[in-house]
Amino acid sequence: MTYLICPSILAADFTRLGQEINNVLSAGADMIHFDVMDNHYVPNLSIGPLVLASMREQKLNCKVDVHLMVKPVDRLVEDFAGYKPDFISIHPETTEHLHKTLAAIREHGVRPGIVFNPATPIDLLDEVIDMVDLVLIMSVNPGFGGQKFIPSSIGKLSKARKKIERSGRDIRLQIDGGISADNIAQVATAGADTFVAGSAIFKSGDYKATIDKMREALAGV
């Protein structure tokens, strides 16, 4: 199992974003998690495609997964796809036609992801499992960093893992919200292989020590 650690730049110092990204990458991060919030679907406003454009201009050619928390979502899929992220993930609640939006992400040459809020039934995955390369289980309600992990996400992860195994497809199972070195082993045991962590990394004094601690915890799974 290859585990991917994905720092969420929502918790970074935006006045030094390029430096922050370089720092987490040299500390061992695998992929940058890019949270897009619109003050409509979620009650917070964050960053848009211009920030990814700047990252690419500055030759930050790292892996990026874009987590879209915006409604309507289709226009922004197009805008982000142009800057070649590895994944674009969408919430089913943000599109009238989930199947069409997931297909559009793929047509733009990006790997599609679907996101499940704490109260979104996981069985919806059955309908689109052939179309997605990433399943993201939210372990907090979307909108803010620094929230407390919701324990019922553990059961949801296990259910998602079973569905992924049954499909036989190469799909990453990502967890997002309240993840730290203290609970990363628990979510990995439940089936997660891709871990978003915002505050736990960026609010720590030493990014490398924190990421190393996460990897040590994962090594024991």
Catalytic positions are 35, 176
User: Is 200 one of the binding residues for ligand DX5 (CB under 6 A)?
Assistant: yes
Q: Is 118 in the site for ligand DX5 (CB under 6 A)?
A: no
State yes or no: residue 38 binds Zn ion (CB under 5 A): no
User: Which of 5, 11, 134, 211 touches ligand DX5 by CB under 6 A?
Assistant: 11
Among 12, 176, 181, 197, binds Zn ion (CB under 5 A): 176
Sole binder of Zn ion in the list 21, 67, 80, 194 (CB under 5 A): 67
SS3 of residue 137 by DSSP:
strand
90 vs 88: CA distance, rounded Å: 7
Decide if residue 146 touches ligand DX5 (CB under 6 A): yes
Q: Which is nearer to ligand DX5, 113 or 142 (CB)?
A: 142
Q: How far is CA 66 from CA 10, 208, 209, 215, in A?
A: 12, 23, 25, 23
Torsion, CA 162, CA 165, CA 166, CA 169, rounded to 10: 140
The C-alpha angle 157, 205, 214, rounded to 5 degrees, equals 30
Each residue 45-74 as x (binds ligand DX5 by CB under 6 A) or -, in order, gives: ----------------------x-------
Q: Among Zn ion, ligand DX5, none, what binds residue 10 when CB lies within 5 to 8 Å by partner kind?
A: ligand DX5
- Tokens 């704490």 correspond to what residue? 118
* Closest residue by Cα to residue 57 from 21, 30, 108: 21
Binding ligand DX5 (rule: CB under 6 A), the pick from 196, 211, 214, 218 is 196
The one among 20, 35, 65, 193 contacting Zn ion by CB under 5 A: 35
Q: Are 84 and 115 in contact (CB under 8 A)?
A: no
Number of Cβ within 10 Å of residue 212's Cβ equals: 14
Q: Is 117 in the site for ligand DX5 (CB under 6 A)?
A: no
Binding-residue total with ligand DX5 (CB under 6 A) = 21
Name residue 164's amino acid. Answer: I
46: closest CA among 147, 145, 164? 145
Task: Identify which of residues 63 and 167 has a Cβ nearer to ligand DX5 in the complex.
Answer: 63
Task: Give the footprint of ligand DX5 on this chain (CB under 6 A).
Answer: 8, 10-11, 33, 35, 67, 140, 142-143, 145-147, 176-179, 196-200
